[in-house]
Amino acid sequence: MSRLWEKGLPLDERVLRYTAGEDHLLDARLVPYDVRGSIAHAEMLADQDLISSDDCSAIRDGLNALNDSFAAGEWSIGLEDEDAHTALETRLTNAIGAAGGRLHLGRSRNDQVLTALRMYLRDAASDLTSRVTELRGSISSLSERQGDIELPGYTHMQHAMPSSVALWCGGFEEGFADACDGLRLVRKRINKNPLGSAAGYGTPGLPLDRDTTTKKLEFDSTQNPVTAAQLSRGKAESALLFEITLLMQDLSRMASDLLLFYTQEFAYVSLAAEVTTGSSIMPQKRNPDVLELLRASSATTQACLDESLMITAKLPSGYHRDLQRLKSPLFRAIDLAIDSVDIMAYVLEGLQFQADNIKLDDGIFATAEAYRLVREDGIPFRDAYRQVAKRYAK
């Protein structure tokens, strides 16, 4: 096995295990993106007469074949590969010969991984936006089914003013609309092409056309100057994690409400049997475990955001291997957000508010009574407030 940086010198197996870390496991999702980025790079090299058209065709066909065989489960990335990039180039060179060794001209593993990662993040943000849109649809359906049911509106955990299922749903639906907007805005940070910046200082003496790969890979712009590419690492990742954290906080608060509403003391809602679990000792229990895990999930995504911010907080400019550590919290948060959004949408499909169990305290209409006095008697609101307050003084 020859890794991209291999110089023929010995490497302690313990050092390989530590430096490779989880990359050989995490990078599976980056394979199709690295293939696409590598093909665009090869085509640009051919356009610039830096490799032959025959070599370019062999590289393109070889990489597409490797992508198909990877998707079919015919090979995987092992520790000896270290990461997706070595795994692909090694297998490509074994398959097509010397042409495979020409692919890396004009790039570093640093801009290579960043290019693949940004294409993945672009798709991940779009995918998550689509899933949140479906969740909004589930909330709207619940509102249409049961929106007229009255609910107490709470402040300080006390009945405060009258609300409804429609109002409860609407608050969360608007919050998730904000999440969609935020995820779309993150694209501006993500969608800059770093390819051709190499290790962060360009490729002196090579006539690369970076704008060509920008167009081929559907980036909005070419990242310039080349020193900005490595300096920007962690920014798009943290921006996406920030939006995910806000999204998950809304999910967590929705779960917290539903957990309260599901208690025997409230009994405002019922859950479909298939979304509840049981107790190992108490035969009667139907536990809302899924909602409890949803409530906890925002802590995980916030921790991922904090980890991402702290990794890059005091790094000097240029590339540093610390940046490899961004993948784990990033991927963990993305996967958790996708699973959580989908499961909440599923829970809401079988959720029913139990109107007969929902009682509103008489005092919940006090503010409306004060407003009535203002309208009908023309007295100042503060006087109406005090007049109504006397009725509830204890």
* Cβ-based neighbours of 287, under 8 Å, separated by 6 or more: 276, 277, 278, 279
How many Å apart are CA 370 and CA 76, to the nearest integer? 70
The token duo for 91 is 């297998």
Measured CA to CA, the distance from residue 189 to residue 321 in angstroms comes to: 22
Amino acid in position 349: E
Look up residue 89 and give its two tokens: 């180039």
- Is 156 designated active site? yes
* Cβ atoms of residues 92 and 66 within 8 Å: yes
Dist. CA 339–CA 328, nearest whole Å: 17
Q: What single-letter amino acid sits at 188?
A: K
CA 215 to chain centre: 25
Rounded to whole angstroms, the Cα distance separating 394 from 331 reads 55
Q: Which helix (H) or strand (E) holds 352?
A: strand 352-353
* C-alpha span between 40 and 366 (Å, rounded): 67
Catalytic residue among 2, 126, 279, 317: 279
The C-alpha R_g of the chain, in whole angstroms, comes to 28
Cα 161 to Cα 261, 355, 358, 365: the distances in Å are: 17, 17, 14, 6
Task: State how beta strands 221-222 and 269-270 pair.
Answer: unpaired
Determine how β-strand 192-193 pairs with β-strand 221-222.
parallel
Q: What residue type is 1 in one-letter code?
A: M
- Known active-site residue 24: no
Catalytic residue chosen out of the listed positions 143, 156, 221, 280 = 156
Q: Which amino acid is at 243?
A: E
Which burial class, exposed, middle or buried, applies to 57 when counting CB atoms under 10 A from its CB (0-12, 13-18, 19+)? middle
Q: Catalytic amino acids?
A: 156, 279
